[in-house]
Amino acid sequence: MKNSFFKRSDQDLFKGTQTKLTMKYSGLLLLFLLLFIVVVYTLLYVVILRDQHRELEGLTRQETRIISDYLAESARNELRGLSSQELVLAGVDQFFYYVVDSNGNLVMGSETMPHMREELLALVAGWVPQRNQIREETLEVTFRERKLGGEQIDNPPASVNVRLMIDGSPLFYNDRFIGMIYIGKDISFAYQLFDWLLIVLIGLAILFAGVAILMSYMMSKKAMEPISTAFNRQKEFVGDASHELRTPLSVMLSSIDALEMTDGVEEDPFARKLLKNMKSEVKRMTGLVSDLLMLARADSGVVKQSHELIDLHVEARNVIESLTPHAEANRIVFHLHAPDEINVIGDRERIKQLLYILLDNAVKYSPDGGNVALTLSKEEREWRISVKDEGIGIHPDEQVRIFYRFYRSDKSRTRALGGHGLGLSIAKWIVDIHKGTISVESELNKGSTFTVNIPLDQVVSKARK
């Protein structure tokens, strides 16, 4: 069965990077869009309200002049009896006007809602506005009449909030204060306009947000194309180079073995040491090439995965036996905790390789005289491998990255131990093709515990196909 995990992994990596780029591009575009909407809304808000201010101030000045001219023409020095005269004080959207004498008594006035006169008079009672001072008030208007702002209302609601802009001006006769005129203008339509404007701007924002995200996606996709191409070429090169290197390395290893059997090598310490070092390096290179070739095959989707019944306990003992000489050289002791028989279904060779990688890493990074514990268990829905060491530990910031290819947390130490940063990447691939998970818990200078959990049902069902 062909496996395409690494192909999916690469796709996920590129998709994740493209998604991040898309989010950054669209975030910038949306930020500018938001600033544009705020600026436009604020400017319109200020301009419209200032226009209403100017209209109300002009209306107040006009009606103040009408009253002043009337008093001058009739040679009246007081406002009493003014209501009986034929004065027309009315303006567009004028909700009310009141003229009061110097004692605050109402002389004349009119309002759109006569039943609200007391409430309206209470708003302006005793108010002497400063220069260019205009008030805004919100009133809950009840509809006893079918009229608002001079317009007929066919089906009025029980009540509605009306926004009023109120201005006032003192009245003088021969430089003597004789009263005040107050004018209220209905600006509810302006705030309705603001509400509709906000809805329109939000609608446009949603529309342009979609456009911005689409543009960002196209830009990020275009930016990722050369990176994806270069990455694919790199994978092809690694696969080709690994394949081509296997034969010369095998020849070199065979030649070194032949040289070791020649006469005189055993008696010459320098030649024996030289051949030993050469053999060790060739083996290390062979292991690296084998790992690279396997990853290259996995990338291309040509790695076959078999499913068979495995006694995990037996396989673990075999791996421990193969690593025992290496562990004993560093006085490291293996401890196996497992049932006498633990049967699971999986790829035998890959599971053995997984055990080897985890145990070999534990030995490499454990101090001389340390302990490495391998625990195997099987539960109702999954089986588990746990490898615990007493090594140097892994920094929390590096615990996610240790499963990346060629990543080494301590590069100098890893090189000294012969590592090349592919082991845990291969281990994760093996776990992933079995639909499992691998995690690490670690504390610096106290050791690490790698835990593998592989579900039983998914592997079994996959094996039956």
In DSSP notation, 183-218 reads EEEE-HHHHHHHHHHHHHHHHHHHHHHHHHHHHHHH
* Alpha carbon distance 320, 206 (integer Å): 62
Tell me the two tokens of residue 25. Answer: 């591009």
For residues 354 and 425, give the distance between their C-alpha atoms in angstroms, rounded to a whole number: 10
- pLDDT score at 75: 64
State residue 153 phi and psi, 5-degree precision: -115, 120
Q: Are 220 and 22 in contact (CB under 8 A)?
A: yes
pLDDT recorded at residue 373: 93
Instruction: Look at 434 and 404; give whichever has higher pLDDT.
Output: 434
pLDDT at 336: 92
Which of these ranges, 236-245, 313-322, 338-347, 436-445, has the smallest mean pLDDT? 236-245
Checking DSSP bridges between strand 159-173 and strand 135-142, what pairing results, if any? antiparallel
DSSP helix/strand/coil, 248: helix
Task: Calculate the alpha carbon distances from 439 to 6, 49, 360, 393, 452 in Å.
Answer: 19, 63, 17, 14, 7
C-alpha to C-alpha distance for 434 and 5, rounded to whole angstroms: 10
Domains in the chain: ranges and CATH: 39-198 (3.30.450), 305-464 (3.30.565.10)
| Rg of the chain, C-alpha, whole Å | 44
Please tell me the distance from the alpha carbon of residue 319 to that of residue 453, in angstroms, as a whole number.
19
The pLDDT, as a whole number, for residue 61 is 87
Give SS3 for 268: coil
Cα torsion 128, 133, 139, 142 to 10°: value is: 70
* Host H or E run for residue 346: strand 343-346
166-175: pLDDT as tens digits: 999 898 888 8
Q: Which of 12-21, 63-72, 277-286, 454-463 has the highest mean pLDDT?
A: 63-72
Mean pLDDT within 213-232: 78
Residues 339-394: tens digit of each pLDDT: 988 898 888 888 988 998 899 889 988 888 889 999 999 888 899 999 999 888 88
What is the phi/psi pair of residue 175, to 5°? 65, 15
Helix (H, G, I), strand (E, B) or coil at 462: helix
Q: Residue 217: pLDDT band by 50, 70, 90 thresholds?
A: confident
Residue type, 16: G
What is the per-residue pLDDT across 40-82, written as a single tens digit (0 to 9) for each?
Answer: 999 999 999 999 899 888 888 888 888 887 777 776 666 665 6
Q: Yes or no: say if 426 and 407 are a contact pair by the CB < 8 Å rule.
A: no
Cβ pair 389, 450 in contact under 8 A: no
The two tokens of residue 59 are 């209306």
At 5 the pLDDT is 41
CA 21 to chain centre: 12
Question: What are the angstrom distances between the C-alpha of 175 and each of 77, 170, 172, 179, 203?
Answer: 11, 11, 5, 12, 56
Q: Is residue 46 classed exposed, middle or buried when 0-12, 13-18 and 19+ CB atoms within 10 A define those classes? A: exposed
How far apart (Å, rounded) are the C-alpha atoms in residues 411 and 419?
9
| Whole-angstrom distance, CA of residue 25 vs CA of residue 220 | 8
**Average per-residue pLDDT for the chain:** 79
SS (H, E, C) 269-284: HHHHHHHHHHHHHHHH
Does residue 92 contact residue 172 with C-beta atoms inside 8 Å? no
Higher pLDDT, 283 or 202: 202
Q: 249 by DSSP, 3-state: which?
A: helix
Written as six digits, the tokens of 396 are 């929390």
Integer angstrom CA distances of residue 237 from 57, 217, 244, 264, 311: 81, 30, 10, 42, 38
Residue 132: what residue type?
N
Q: How much of the chain, in percent, has pLDDT values that exceed 70?
A: 75
Query: In the predicted model, is pLDDT for residue 14 greater than 90?
Result: no
- Residue 209: both structure tokens together: 């947000």
